[in-house]
Amino acid sequence: MTLLIGFGLVALLGIFHHFALLGLRRVTADAKERPNRAIISVFIGLLVIHLAEILFFAGAYRVLLDWPWMGQLNEMGTRWSGLIYFSGINFTTLGYTQIEAAGPIRLVNMMQSLGGFMILTWSATFIYSVWKKALDGL
């Protein structure tokens, strides 16, 4: 059950990221004419998008931790700042944190790391394509 919850959250993450990138693509349609603006817009846009995705998972953890059967995080992971930190560490696939997960919620953590890896590589490919388009215009 927990693995399905993690899968569903990562699926939502991918859907959100897809539409966010479509929005960024519209913003940078003139990359050849305004290369600096396009590259900076994509960088800042991806920063905002990734932060929103980290906050989404932090909120999901908050909800999931209200279900006793999901497991728990140690005391540092019960505050909102701890949840954001925990989510960000998982999203960036660093994995090491002072916040320990116990119980089935660890499967959601694992799925977030997988999703974060996929999203970050997708974003890297996207920013590279905008950068290439912008430089081809020079």
Integer Cα distance of 107 and 75 in angstroms? 19
Q: Which fold has domain 2-136?
A: Helix Hairpins (1.10.287)
Mean pLDDT, the chain, whole residue set: 91
pLDDT given for residue 137 in this prediction: 62
The residue extents of the domains of the chain are 2-136
pLDDT given for residue 75 in this prediction: 75
For residues 7-17, average pLDDT: 98
pLDDT tens digit sequence for 55-104: 999 999 999 999 989 998 887 777 899 999 999 999 998 776 778 888 99
Spatial contact of 119 and 97, defined as CB atoms under 8 Å apart: no
